[in-house]
Amino acid sequence: MVDRPNKPAALATTPGLPPQAQVNITHDNSRVNAVLPSGESIEVLLYGATVTSWKDRAGNERLWLSDAAKLDGSKAVRGGIPLVFPVFGTAPDHAATSKLPQHGFARTSIWEFMGSSTSESTGKSDNSVKLDFGLSQSNLTDESKKLWPHPFSLQYSVTLTPDSLGTGMVITNQGDQPFEAQLLMHTYLRVKDITKVSVTGLEESDYVDKVDAAKTKKQSGTVTISGETDRVYTPAKGPSHPVVVSEGGAATFTVVRDNLDDVVVWNPWIEKAAGMGDFEPKDGYKNMICIEAGAVKGWQKLEAGDAFEGAQVISV
Whether 87 is in a domain gets the answer yes
Q: Is 186 a catalytic residue?
A: yes
| Catalytic residue of the set 103, 204, 292, 303 | 292
Whether 180 is in a domain gets the answer yes
The reported pLDDT for the residue numbered 306 is 97
List the domain range (segments joined by +) for residue 155: 22-192+258-315
User: Which regions of the chain are under pLDDT 50?
Assistant: 1-13, 121-122, 124-125
The reported pLDDT for the residue numbered 200 is 98
CA distance 119 to 121: 5
Of 298, 295, 259, nearest to 85 by C-alpha is 295
Residue 56 · residue 62 · CB < 8 Å: yes
What is the sign of the dihedral through the CA atoms of 151, 167, 287 and 261? negative
Whether 174 is in a domain gets the answer yes
Residue 163 · residue 315 · CB < 8 Å: yes
Neighbours of 130 (CB within 10 A): 23
Average pLDDT value for the chain = 92
What is the sign of the dihedral through the CA atoms of 294, 113, 45 and 51? negative
Whether 250 is in a domain gets the answer no
The reported pLDDT for the residue numbered 5 is 42
Give the C-alpha distances (Å, rounded to integers) separating 199 from 73, 184, 272: 33, 19, 21
Whether 127 is in a domain gets the answer yes
What global pTM score does this model have? Answer: 0.91
Question: What CATH number is associated with residue 136?
Answer: 2.70.98.10
Whether 204 is in a domain gets the answer no
Whether 102 is in a domain gets the answer yes
| Catalytic residue of the set 103, 120, 186, 204 | 186
Q: How many domains does the chain have?
A: 1
Q: How is 75-127 classified by DSSP, letter by letter?
A: S--SBSB-EEBS-SS--TT-TTTTTSPTTBSGGGSBPEEEEEEEHHHH-S-SS
CA distance 216 to 196: 26
CA distance 200 to 80: 22
Q: Is 190 annotated as a binding residue?
A: no
The reported pLDDT for the residue numbered 20 is 86
Q: Is 257 annotated as a binding residue?
A: no
Question: For residue 174, how far is the Cα from the chain centroid?
Answer: 24
Q: Is 78 annotated as a binding residue?
A: yes
Whether 134 is in a domain gets the answer yes
CA distance 141 to 104: 13
With 0-12 / 13-18 / 19 or more C-beta atoms within 10 angstroms meaning exposed / middle / buried, residue 10 is exposed
